[in-house]
Amino acid sequence: MKIATVCGMGFGTSMMLAMQVRDILADEGVQASVDPVDLGSFKSMQADVVIAPRDMESQVTAGPAEHVVLIDNLVDRDEVSSKVLELLRSLAD
């Protein structure tokens, strides 16, 4: 599974989300590639899942990823974890 974490420049928010998602997946024993990217790069890449701040909803939902996870509070690990794990469970069904 390929996961892209997205923000405008590809440095701050996307890096923070990528670190959180990698930790969450490791805790769950899930293997995935998690890459922080800027919005421009995301639009031309292949990803199964995109994780981004809610304020980027219109940009990422029109992108190439089949599944989108939108985060309201980027520093709330519980929110990130619950939304990512909910998606992974739905994909496993």
Domains assigned to the chain: 2-92 (3.40.50.2300)
Task: Name residue, tokens 């089949």.
Answer: 66
**Model confidence pLDDT, tens digit, residues 36-79:** 999 888 888 888 999 999 999 998 887 777 899 999 999 999 99
> Which residues share a beta bridge with 39?
none
Measured distance CA(60)–CA(55) in Å, rounded: 10
Percent of the chain with pLDDT over 90: 65
pTM of the predicted model as reported, rounded to 2 decimal places: 0.91
So what's the pLDDT on residue 19?
95
Q: Give all strands of the β-sheet with 49-53 in edge-to-edge order.
A: 33-38, 2-7, 49-53, 67-71
